[in-house]
Structure 1
Amino acid sequence: MDSGGPIAENQYGSSAAEQAIYWFALLLDGTESEHDRANFAHWLAADPAHHRAFMEIEHLWTGTSSLNLGNLNLDGQGKSGRRAFLGAGLAAVLVGAAGWYGDVIPHHPFADFRTVKGVRRKITLLDGVQAELASQSSLSVITDDKGATGIALHKGEVFFQHDGRQRDFFVRAANGFVRPVAAARFDVTCYDGQSEIITQTGSVDVETALNTRNVTRGEGVSCDNGVLGTPYDVDLAMRLAWRKGRLVFVGDPLEKVANVLQRWHPGRIIVLGDALKQRPVTLVVNLNRTSDVLPLVGKVLSINVDQIGGYLTILRDA
């Protein structure tokens, strides 16, 4: 990498922590040039927050301060030596320090049903209600205050097939409820307080404390912290391709692709740089071969793909 001058404040991320991750990955990889070292020194000197962010990351990842910031030598170690020294515990400590427990500790350990990363599962929930769980999903059977039986989707994505016999059946996701009007096939996702409901056949009513929407065949609706949007048309074949072992992206921003892919791919994926996050990507992913995807993305977009252990992948401009 040779950027030709001091880096812009948001060239490798919008926060000091994100920029520090970029520099740490570059120095860990050992591919930096003398010009990179000069830019790194300039970045450190530009703001005391940069120095603190870098030292915090290094301390969390290595348990010590191995980098001599005065001359950018790693205690006399060569590039292969520093990779061995830093790389041994880096990924595992990163997972713990940043709270990325998804690959190791299941969310909602007392859920009735769950899947681990990379696994899909079909189950019978109730008489006349089938469900297919996507990767890293968890749900429980619950009853409401009227005694009706339904499902609480704690996290993930689930496709439901409801034949209409369970008339009071419902799905609770984030701050909303999904109630099939009659027989219906529908998909519900729930991540970080946001949910999306897509109807393949029939129709469902989506309710929150603020409003209600009816979502019919081929439509979807999003719910953000209890606020429902307007229903929109959905490409069902593309959106539900995960049920056939595929992920399909057509012109989607790289940041979105990374967020979806890391639900199925081992470890955490970080995209550095606001411009790179918005790069459009068209891609079909075979869920049985997710390990091939990121190197391919790197070649197609001509970007660097830094894979650190089995827990972290950083995508950055070449």
Structure 2
Amino acid sequence: MNDGEKPTALDEAAEWYVRQDTGVLDAGEQARFRAWLMQPANRAAYEEVAGAWDDLGRIPRPGLSTGLPRQRDVRAVPLRRHPSRTSRPRRWALAAAAVVVAVTAGYALDLPMRLEADAMTATGEVRTVTLDDGSSVALNTASAIAVDYSRERRRIRLLRGEAVFTVARDAARPFVVATASGEAVARGTVFAVRKDDEAATVTVLESHVGVSYPAAGRTAVELSPGEALDYSRRGLGAVRAVDADAATAWRRGKLIFVDRPLGEVIAELNRYHSGRIQIIDGSISSHPVSGVFDTGNPLQALEVIEQTLGLHSTRLSSLLILLHH
């Protein structure tokens, strides 16, 4: 849309649908949404966009004998379906438009974090930040941190994403990285922390790090170089051996996969892609993938994966790619 151009009912419907589906509406916004939905033109536009997303789960492909799972319906919003109202190509175009709107709306929804963060990266961006004490933080794609230093401790909150911390030694002040209700504590070391929703992973590259998750009611677990640990609402996971250098290869602009399920690989590529790559054939999600790919070109990685596994993709826009047999 041009600057100053009034959004159409379809534009608004796409944004409401995306925000409903991602669960970001509070009670007040839900009330405004329902008031907006009372207008017949708005409801018709909303049904059209919702139908477009449903159709994405039913795209027929050669060799597929069963339908694919439908996208989840919007919570507590009764909708009528009118399959004949809009052609499938039109619905695909609407779905692609919804992705564009989601990307645009994402910036506005991201504003609170932008105000809270002391440093952050955009999708596909990797950069290093030097802190006041000489420690450094390498931020991976779409990551954000907030810094809180005092005389007693150095505390960093990983708001989202992933980072590698190279900690300047200070015997008097521990270096704490807090995220997902847990903490990693060190005084002088190199370690990585990754946040995935309400879970986190701590990986140690040098020296030792103590990891605690107060909700689990356990004392801190100490990790040594080449070890990693996950924690979430289920508590602290088991300490496991990892190739820490491979796990943080993104610092060198690489992603390394060894027999990883395709579904996990695509989820990782999506972290570096400004749009969305979506598997629409569940039977291929478990295919093992091995390779070394550039973080700067996730679509090239996708092309290599397609060729290697004999898969195909359908591009509904530059932002929406459907992967299938």
Kindly indicate whether the alpha-carbon contact (under 8 Å) linking 2:209 and 2:223 is maintained by their aligned counterparts in 1.
Answer: yes
The equivalent position to 1:303 in structure 2, one of 287, 311, 315, is 311
Number of the residue aligned with 1:249: 257
Query: Residue 263 of structure 1 aligns to a residue in which SS?
Result: helix
| CA deviation vs aligned residue, 1:95-138 (integer Å, no higher than 9, x gap) | 657x9966785471211111000000101123131100000001
| CA deviation vs aligned residue, 1:145-200 (integer Å, no higher than 9, x gap) | x95331110110000000212622211011101101x3200000001111000010
Kindly indicate whether the alpha-carbon contact (under 8 Å) linking 2:99 and 2:275 is maintained by their aligned counterparts in 1.
Answer: no
**What is the identity, as a one-letter code, of the residue corresponding to 1:249?**
F
Number of the residue aligned with 1:265: 273
Structure 1 CA distance, aligned partners of 2:249 and 2:162?
A: 13
- Provide closer, same or farther for how the CA distance between residues 136 and 23 of structure 1 changes in structure 2, counting only shifts above 3 A: same
Number of the residue aligned with 1:196: 201
Shift of 1:309: 1.1
**What is the identity, as a one-letter code, of the residue corresponding to 1:68?**
S
Shift of 1:311: 2.2
Structure 2 CA distance, aligned partners of 1:55 and 1:169?
A: 42
Number of the residue aligned with 1:116: 122
Kindly indicate whether the alpha-carbon contact (under 8 Å) linking 1:120 and 1:132 is maintained by their aligned counterparts in 2.
Answer: yes
What 5-or-longer segments of structure 2 have no aligned partner?
Answer: 1-51, 75-79
Query: Residue 175 of structure 2 aligns to a residue in which SS?
Result: coil
| CA deviation vs aligned residue, 1:236-280 (integer Å, no higher than 9, x gap) | 221111010000001000111011111112212222344311110
Number of the residue aligned with 1:125: 131
Shift of 1:233: 0.7
- Spell out the pairing of 1:216-227 with structure 2 (5 A cutoff): 216-225=224-233, 227=235
Structure 1 CA distance, aligned partners of 2:71 and 2:233?
A: 34
* Residue 68, structure 1, aligned to residue 84, structure 2: yes
Structure 2 CA distance, aligned partners of 1:193 and 1:177?
A: 13
Query: Residue 142 of structure 1 aligns to a residue in which SS?
Result: strand
The equivalent position to 1:90 in structure 2, one of 91, 95, 109, is 95
**Count of aligned pairs:** 265
Structure 1 CA distance, aligned partners of 2:265 and 2:208?
A: 29
Kindly indicate whether the alpha-carbon contact (under 8 Å) linking 2:139 and 2:163 is maintained by their aligned counterparts in 1.
Answer: yes
Kindly indicate whether the alpha-carbon contact (under 8 Å) linking 1:123 and 1:131 is maintained by their aligned counterparts in 2.
Answer: yes
- Provide closer, same or farther for how the CA distance between residues 96 and 288 of structure 1 changes in structure 2, counting only shifts above 3 A: closer
Number of the residue aligned with 2:36: none
Kindly indicate whether the alpha-carbon contact (under 8 Å) linking 1:176 and 1:226 is maintained by their aligned counterparts in 2.
Answer: no
Q: CA RMSD in A?
A: 3.5
- Determine which structure has greater relative contact order: mean sequence separation of CA pairs < 8 Å that are 6+ residues apart, divided by chain length: 1
Kindly indicate whether the alpha-carbon contact (under 8 Å) linking 1:206 and 1:215 is maintained by their aligned counterparts in 2.
Answer: yes
Query: Residue 126 of structure 1 aligns to a residue in which SS?
Result: coil
- Provide closer, same or farther for how the CA distance between residues 115 and 103 of structure 1 changes in structure 2, counting only shifts above 3 A: same
- Spell out the pairing of 1:11-50 with structure 2 (5 A cutoff): 20-24=55-59, 26=60
**What is the identity, as a one-letter code, of the residue corresponding to 2:200?**
S
- Provide closer, same or farther for how the CA distance between residues 95 and 163 of structure 1 changes in structure 2, counting only shifts above 3 A: same
If the length of structure 2 is used for normalisation, what is the TM-score? 0.70
**What is the identity, as a one-letter code, of the residue corresponding to 1:200?**
L
Structure 2 CA distance, aligned partners of 1:102 and 1:295?
A: 27
**What is the identity, as a one-letter code, of the residue corresponding to 2:284?**
L
Task: State, as a whole percentage, how many aligned pairs show the same letter.
Answer: 25
Structure 1 CA distance, aligned partners of 2:272 and 2:195?
A: 15
- Spell out the pairing of 1:233-248 with structure 2 (5 A cutoff): 233-248=241-256
The equivalent position to 2:191 in structure 1, one of 182, 186, 190, is 186
- Provide closer, same or farther for how the CA distance between residues 56 and 220 of structure 1 changes in structure 2, counting only shifts above 3 A: closer
- Provide closer, same or farther for how the CA distance between residues 103 and 135 of structure 1 changes in structure 2, counting only shifts above 3 A: farther
- Provide closer, same or farther for how the CA distance between residues 253 and 263 of structure 1 changes in structure 2, counting only shifts above 3 A: same
Shift of 1:87: 5.0
Query: Residue 262 of structure 1 aligns to a residue in which SS?
Result: helix
**What is the identity, as a one-letter code, of the residue corresponding to 1:247?**
L
What 5-or-longer segments of structure 1 have no aligned partner?
Answer: 1-16, 27-31, 45-49, 58-63, 76-81
If the length of structure 1 is used for normalisation, what is the TM-score? 0.72
